[in-house]
Amino acid sequence: MNLHAFTARPIEPAALAELRSTDDAGRPCVPYTLTEDGGPLRCCLRAARAGDRIALVSYAPLRRWAAATGARPGAYDEVGPVFVHAEDCGGPEPAAPGTYPFERAGALRTVRRYDADGRIVGGRLLELPDVPAEGFDEALTEAFADPAVALVHVRAVEYGCFHFEVRRP
């Protein structure tokens, strides 16, 4: 498969608008301004920078996908923390060729696979190699080789947080 054959998806704009008011756990959004560079932003798929106005919100990515597709993930419907810009940021800039968001050689990621019903059908621990995009491409190619896989969530191992989603090409 060609390098960077998959597209990392940020949180959809309509979902962001809702999260910036009330998050998926029913809590109000509480924005603040960063004083130093921070963690990954799921609205624009880049790292937060000092001076950014951001919020930490609870997000249920599988729930939102299931609502749009009619899937019934049951207990696999998880809610977890993500950072987003507190106001509309315009979404991600075009990715540099051969890259994925939040890639860093040596970082540990889980590549969790879901079927069309929203149930987990496998996963993989991924330590990003010296050329991280090659590791992502290999893991995603492996995931989508299974015809049952409808989408994949990439998460950080250290905190378990959702980084981005990839859907079947």
Task: Give the DSSP per-residue string, 36-64.
Answer: S--SEETTTTEE--TT-EEEEEEE-HHHH
Q: What is the mean pLDDT of residues 110-136?
A: 96
pLDDT tens-digit readout, 5-44: 799 999 999 999 999 999 999 999 999 999 999 889 999 9
d(CA 14, CA 52): 21
pTM score: 0.91
Residue pair 53/31 in contact (Cβ under 8 Å)? The answer is yes
d(CA 146, CA 14): 30
Tokens representing residue 149 in the block? 């896989």
Cα Rg of the chain (Å, integer): 16
- 96 vs 66, higher pLDDT: 66
